[in-house]
Amino acid sequence: MRILHVIRGLANSSGTTHIVGPLAEAQARQGHQVKVLFVEKSGSRPVRPDPSLVESHEFPLTIPTQHVGWSRAFARGFRTAVRDADVVHIHAIWNFPTWYAMRGSLRAGVPYVVAPQGSLEDWALNRSRRLKRLYATLAEKPYFDRAAAMQALTQTEVEQCRRFGIRAPVTILPNGVDLDAIDRYTHVADLRAEFALSPETVVFIFLGRVFPKKGLDILIPAFARLTASRPDVLLLIAGHDAGSGYRREMEQLAVAHGVAPRMRFLGEVSGRRKFELLRGADVFVLSSYSEGLPVAALEAMACRCPVVLTRHCNLDDIGAREAGWLVEPRADSLCGALQSACESVHERRRRGSNGRALVEDRYTWGQIARESILSYRSYQPRGH
């Protein structure tokens, strides 16, 4: 099968980047011809899929509007590429490549799949709500309705698609991780030695964009409450704010709550360093108000690091599998889970092992790629 993936950009800081590349590679390993088209993001080197498996093309911006990604070169490139595609898989919405790929696929008679990746969640929609509703009505929603399918990450996202009024079929295909790639990074960071900590210190790590939806404004107050009874803790914040100034706001919030000495802002981490940190930390925390299905949480679980997640991370099965702690996006709820995580090394290790088993059972890219191909084939005309 000839598969064409489209995404706004492939910056390391974007969670969708770490979905498209691995999925495309897994599909190629299963014998399919796969291409990825994307538009440049100024000041960011793209994280391309393995060129021995996947052909990828980056197109320059025509107008330097970072989010929208308006590119004439992309439009020309897409018109050429879609002619040779059996299916187009479009990742994330509310940008020019999304709109153009839907429009171009429809005109070329090629079935297309659209993955909102959490963009239809209430928190996301409420940011610039009127503008998004107007843009959706005029530009993208008519093409959502004519898609071969919308790709939902969870049953929750299926319901979000329906609430938004989308009439196209919706299929569930979760995000995943490449366990073989993760397991190549075997080194464990000695964080107690690195940060001059006592042996009893419990190290929490947040890994993701330093951005309002990630809930750092509740994590920092929750962590401050924890330190009142547990002074032997450290919180690492790994991620950057893309120049928005939000990191500085969070640093000031840490100072205001008196926990700056017990926090470290590490900036963006990737590759070997990322997995060293996940293996070395005691607990992974993601306090988001809104997510699709966060790859960072799956990566932490793959590294046997137990997780504390808000319910908006849409990984409810960690509760049933006792792979971590699920909380409401409130400081009191979050603090309670942090305290529970501090109480027992044995319990952290047990939940970390359960998380690894859950990923092996449900969230590997090889399995998800096979499911994607079955979905694509169902969109093809009989005899194709």
Q: Is residue 78 part of a domain?
A: yes
* Res 94: pLDDT: 85
Number of domains in the chain: 2
Residues 196 and 283 in one domain: yes
Residues 6 and 110 in one domain: yes
Residues 69 and 214 in one domain: no
* Res 1: pLDDT: 95
- Could you tell me how far CA 209 lies from the centroid of its own chain? 10
* Res 120: pLDDT: 85
Residues 162 and 284 in one domain: no
Residues 152 and 245 in one domain: no
CATH value at residue 307: 3.40.50.2000
Q: In what order do the strands lie in the sheet with 55-59?
A: 55-59, 33-39, 2-7, 87-91, 112-115, 149-152, 170-172
- Judged by DSSP in three states, 5 sits in strand
- Could you tell me how far CA 320 lies from the centroid of its own chain? 22
92: domain range? 2-176+364-378
Q: What confidence tens digit (pLDDT) does each residue in 30-72 have?
A: 999 999 999 998 777 898 999 999 999 999 999 877 678 899 9
* Res 136: pLDDT: 64
Contact 352, 305 (CB under 8 A): yes
Whether residue 382 is predicted with pLDDT greater than 60 in this model: the reply is no
* For the chain, percent of residues with pLDDT exceeding 70: 95
Q: What confidence tens digit (pLDDT) does each residue in 185-197 have?
A: 989 999 999 999 9
Q: Is residue 383 part of a domain?
A: no
Residue 335: CB atoms within 10 Å: 22
Tokens for 29, please give them: 């390993």
Q: Which residues share a beta bridge with 4?
A: 35, 88
Q: How confident is the model at residue 130 (pLDDT cuts 50, 70, 90)?
A: low
Average pLDDT over residues 295-303: 96
Q: Is residue 384 part of a domain?
A: no
Q: In what order do the strands lie in the sheet with 263-267?
A: 263-267, 233-238, 202-207, 283-286, 307-310, 324-327
Q: Is residue 319 part of a domain?
A: yes
Contact 217, 123 (CB under 8 A): no
Whether residue 383 is predicted with pLDDT greater than 60 in this model: the reply is no
Residues 65 and 135 in one domain: yes
Amino acid at site 258 = G
Q: Is residue 258 part of a domain?
A: yes
Whether residue 17 is predicted with pLDDT greater than 90 in this model: the reply is no
Residues 305 and 205 in one domain: yes
Place of tokens 């704010």: 241
Residues 166 and 190 in one domain: no
Contact 58, 80 (CB under 8 A): no
Residues 194 and 298 in one domain: yes
Q: How far is CA 157 from CA 69, 115, 166, in A?
A: 25, 10, 12
- Judged by DSSP in three states, 307 sits in strand
Which of 87, 133, 136, 97 minimizes the C-alpha distance to 16? 97
Residues 32 and 122 in one domain: yes
Whether residue 133 is predicted with pLDDT greater than 70 in this model: the reply is no
Look up the pTM and report it: 0.87
Which DSSP string corresponds to 250-293? HHHHHHHTT-GGGEEEEE---HHHHHHHHHH-SEEEE--S--SS
